[in-house]
Structure formats: C-alpha cells, structure tokens
A = this chain, B = another copy of it.
Amino acid sequence: MATRDTGTEQLIKDTAKRIFFSEGKLHATTQDIADAAGVNRTLLNYYFRSRDILFEQVVLEARAEMSAIMDSIFTAELEFKDKIQQMINIFMEQAMQFPYREMYVVMEFNRTEKIVPEEKKNKIRQFLKEINAEMEKGKIKKMDPRQFLMNLFALMAYPLITNCLNKSLYNINDAEYLKLMKERKQLIFEMIYQ
C-alpha cells in the first residue's frame, strides 16, 4: 500500500502558513497549529518529524512560491511598463492574502543567513539592467536601480504589514482598508512610473 493520503499533511502545512503568513502569529507553537488545524499535535511529528523541519519546510515553500512569481514576471515577454503593472497586481493580491509572508521569510533569512543562489542573482541583475534602460529612455526617474526596486517593494508590502495599526490610527474598517489597498495598485504605479 502506497499512501492513503488523508490530506492531513497538506492541512497542517496550509494551517501553519495561514497562522504565520496571514494572521502574523510569529510565536505560534505546534499545539497552536494543531488546534487550528483540528488535528492531534502528534501528527505534526508523524508527518514532519520535528517542529523545526515543519517550519523550515513552510518557509522553503513560501520562498519558492514568491520566487516563482518574481521570476515569471522578471523573465516575461512584456514591455517594461507592463511588467511593472503586472508585478504590482500580482504582488498586491498575494500580499493581501499573506501580508506577513515576506516578513517571515526575511526574518528567517536574518536568522539562518541562507545563501542566495547565483542563478537568482543573475535574474535580478538582468532586471536591474532593464530598469536602467528605462531610465535612460527617460521613462522613469533616474536613480540607482536598486533604490527603484526597494521603493517598489516597500510601497507594496509595508501597508499590508501595518494593516492592523493603520486601521486603528486612521479609524477605518476592513471594507475601507480593502478599498484603499486596491486603489494603491494604481497609485503605486503612478508614483513609480511617472
């Protein structure tokens, strides 16, 4: 008999991702995750052997998902302008679903000092060149292309991380926040691509 696949393994991973990346509960324990998934805590050990392995796998998959999205846009056969527009659309939709995913990955990166594969760096270098070309053409404001990328990601990611605080500070509800975030797509494009 191969495997019965009750879906439990996937359920556990999905629940962990929800708790970490959507709800932002950085200090969740294995018990927290088991409870949220509605399964016995022992099952985390059965499927993943240890807490560390589960968490590592979750981060690994998160990185892979994010990389896949970035790569598909970086290397797409599109005008630069359209790439940016698509990037904003896809990234913001993802960020609305998993506001803390990037932060979690960044923190894990700080903690473990993982190495970035040369292949990925090359793709980025290539995109930095594209940015530079667009600046030469006078389409976007001239600056260090790395600053350009930092600006773009900052504008996209940050407001979602600070979701809760912003809602309190500005007295806005979920519906209005959603509206603001959708408006941001266009707004970011205009700021970046003047």
Contact = CB atoms under 8 A, between A and B. Distances in A.
Interface stretch (A37-45, A85-93, A165-173): A165-173
A103 B110 CA distance: 14
Interface residues of A, number: 47
8 contacts: A26-B26, A26-B27, A103-B161, A150-B162, A150-B166, A151-B191, A153-B162, A158-B158
Nearest to A27: B27
Given A153-B162, A158-B150, A180-B146, A169 B110 contact: no
A124 interface: yes
B143 A187 contact: yes
4 smallest CB-CB distances across A and B, nearest first, come from A154-B158, A150-B159, A154-B154, A116-B168
Given A168-B116, A169-B124, A151 B155 contact: yes
A183 interface: yes
B110 A164 contact: yes
A109 B169 contact: no
B162 A106 contact: yes
Contacts of A168: 109, 115-116
Contacts of A110: 24, 164-165
A121 interface: yes
A140 to B, nearest CB: 11
Given A106-B162, A109-B168, 19 more contacts: A24-B110, A26-B26, A26-B27, A26-B107, A106-B165, A109-B164, A110-B164, A110-B165, A113-B164, A121-B171, A141-B191, A146-B170, A150-B159, A150-B162, A150-B184, A153-B158, A154-B154, A158-B158, A194-B194
